[in-house]
């Protein structure tokens, strides 16, 4: 963490993109069937909110090992959200959304590189 460039977690690009992802997930889940309000909608929103929340909490810890642990939690929540979005598309609740998919890819790549800097590529890129 470079304190000269980032004064708050809100300055982190990964947090900004994660936050935008939450807003997009809230938008698309508004159109889901009412019977999913306490099922898939709630799960997707919880997973999405968890991403920037864990980034922010980790940043606030000011201790690299703890920060990395929270970045890993954020990454795990992102993977949950990816699974839930695929399910939503397959169930016909929403269409594929290039903006959301792009944000998920960007956030995932950033998070992975942040907590795993010695690796240049994601496991799928090897």
What value does the mean pLDDT of the chain take? 91
Q: Which pTM does this prediction carry?
A: 0.88
Q: How far is CA 99 from the centre of its chain?
A: 13
Determine, yes or no, domain membership for 104: yes
**Domain range for residue 45?**
11-117
Residue 58 lies in a domain: yes
Ranking 1-5, 50-54, 96-100, 101-105 by mean pLDDT, the lowest is 1-5
Q: Which CATH number covers residue 38?
A: 1.20.1440.60
Is residue 64 domain-resident?
yes
Residues recorded for the chain: 126
Give the Cα separation of 77 and 93 in Å (integer): 21
In the predicted structure, residue 86 carries a pLDDT above the cut 90? yes
Q: Are 93 and 36 in contact (CB under 8 A)?
A: yes
Residue 6 within a domain? no
Residue 62 — very low, low, confident or very high, per pLDDT cuts 50/70/90?
A: confident
Looking at the structure of the chain, the number of domains it has is: 1
Paired tokens of 64: 């690299």
Does residue 4 carry a pLDDT above 90? no
Would 126 be classed as within a structural domain?
A: no
Residue 122 lies in a domain: no
- In the predicted structure, residue 126 carries a pLDDT above the cut 70: no
- Is 2 within the bounds of a domain? no
With respect to residue 44, please indicate whether it lies within any of the assigned structural domains. yes
pLDDT digits (tens, 9 = 90+) for 16-60: 999 999 999 999 999 999 999 999 999 999 999 999 999 999 999
Reported as a pLDDT band with limits 50, 70 and 90, residue 119 is: low
How confident is the model over 53-70, as a mean pLDDT? 93
């Amino acid at each position: 963490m470079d304190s000269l460039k980032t004064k708050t977690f809100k300055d982190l690009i990964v947090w900004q993109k994660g936050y935008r992802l939450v807003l997009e997930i809230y938008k698309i889940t508004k159109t889901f069937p009412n019977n999913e309000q306490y099922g898939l909608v709630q799960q997707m929103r919880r997973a999405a909110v968890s991403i920037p929340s864990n980034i922010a909490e980790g940043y606030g810890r000011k201790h690299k090992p703890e920060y990395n642990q929270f970045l890993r939690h954020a990454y795990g929540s992102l993977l949950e959200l990816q699974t839930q979005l695929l399910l939503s598309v397959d169930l016909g609740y929403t269409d594929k959304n290039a903006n959301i998919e792009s944000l998920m890819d960007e956030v995932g790549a950033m998070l992975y590189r942040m907590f795993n800097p010695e690796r240049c590529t994601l496991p799928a890129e090897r």
